[in-house]
Amino acid sequence: MKSFLGASDVTEFHLALGQCLNYRSALRLTEPARILYLAVPVDVYDEFFSRKFIQRIIGEYQLKLLIFNPDKEEIVIWRD
């Protein structure tokens, strides 16, 4: 789960992407049936993840997203 509270959303995304790819690779070795999702707050998804560049990266790396509302503590979207 990433909060994107740093000074730069781009930097936070790069960190999250790197972590997600590393975790996914490790899980493939130990638990290949497990599916990894990158969890992001709905406001970050709406404002940042809608950018064409970010959408391209999501598609290129086949990232699965879990978008949640932190105030309501609920999942808004599961995006495969």
The Cα–Cα gap between 16 and 18 comes to 5
The Cα–Cα gap between 62 and 57 comes to 8
Cβ–Cβ < 8 Å for 37, 8: no
C-alpha angle 41-72-15 in degrees, rounded to nearest 5: 20
What local confidence, expressed as pLDDT, does residue 63 receive? 95
What local confidence, expressed as pLDDT, does residue 80 receive? 86
pTM as predicted: 0.80
Tell me the pLDDT of the chain (80 aa) as tens digits: 445 555 677 888 899 899 999 999 999 999 999 999 999 999 999 999 999 999 999 999 999 999 999 999 999 999 98
